[in-house]
Structure 1
Amino acid sequence: MSRKLSTGSSSSFYVQLYQIVDDRFSNQIISWSKTNNNSFIVWDMKRIRTNILLKSSSGVLLGRNLTEFVSKLRSNGFKTVVKGPGELEFSHDDFARGPLMMKKMMVKALSERIERFDAQIKTMKCRIKAKKASLGVENLFQNLRI
């Protein structure tokens, strides 16, 4: 692989995908688009599964077959670009050649994860508050029975 980018788990999908697309040794299978800096093309549907998805840890993050791979791309904001038969092109405004764009995408993914985590914390705080109130009411009833 050409460049290694360190990351947290929230953007591992993007990093793994970036490293595969940016790897010049996989250009016959998957590579950056020559006409659009924000997209990549899957040139060989069979070999992406056998040579990339099944032979590395990327299969866990990116999918074990082409259907899972495409599904994960779509769920991470990638759009399919209409091409000729036998080619799949995917684009994403923040996924582009060059480390600066990748950093932007990683920051965005991390921010989204932080927002979800904050929402979970708020939910937990509300549950704790409700539980305390419930326990307070139970204590009042127990004191009244005395």
Structure 2
Amino acid sequence: MSRKLSTESSSSLYVQLYQIVDDHSSDHIISWSKTNNNSFIVWDMKRLRTNILLKSSSGVLLGRNLTEFVAKLRSHGFKTVVKGPGELEFSHDDFARGPLMKKKMMAKALSERIERFDAQIKAMKCRIKAKKAEVRVENLFQNLRI
């Protein structure tokens, strides 16, 4: 059973991964599979680490080394397929090449940001409400001293 793309704070991982895999300038390192629209191949693991993971913000989401990268992919439902010496293929039923998938992931990432912003606003309102209650209680105690 495959995992579905998660909406909880991991859509950014999918967006970042999609951008890296879809970037034709790095096709010699990582690219979409020619035979399967739902998988990508890491052609050069060493360069993936040095040229992509360590040199961009993607390392934060995808890991700083190959072990972290593979672990994060597996935790998000990607299956590993050993291709050959130094090559790995990763597949996921819901991670597919194409403009529709890209738009879907961008919408999820935007929705996730809006949800985080809403949560921050709610937390701020709670803190304000608590502060007002605290001030009322202090005023009541001051009035009792008189």
Q: Specify the alignment match of 1:80 in structure 2.
A: 79
Pairs aligned (count): 136
Structure 1: runs of 5+ lacking an equivalent: 1-9
**Could you say if the C-alpha distance between residues 30 and 24 of structure 1 is closer, same or farther in structure 2, counting changes exceeding 3 Å?**
same
SS of the residue corresponding to residue 131 of structure 2 reads helix
* Structure 1, 10-19 or 80-89: larger mean CA deviation: 10-19
Q: Is the 8 A contact 1:94 1:104 kept in 2?
A: no
Q: Percent identity?
A: 85
Q: Is the 8 A contact 1:95 1:105 kept in 2?
A: no
Deviations 1:56-98 (A, max 9, x none): 56545544322343345456x3523343564433344553222
Instruction: Give the TM-score normalised by structure 1.
Output: 0.70
Structure 2: runs of 5+ lacking an equivalent: 1-9
Instruction: Give the TM-score normalised by structure 2.
Output: 0.70
Root-mean-square deviation (CA, aligned residues, Å) is 3.0
Amino acid in the other structure paired with 1:141: F
Q: Is the 8 A contact 1:80 1:90 kept in 2?
A: yes
**Could you say if the C-alpha distance between residues 98 and 65 of structure 1 is closer, same or farther in structure 2, counting changes exceeding 3 Å?**
same
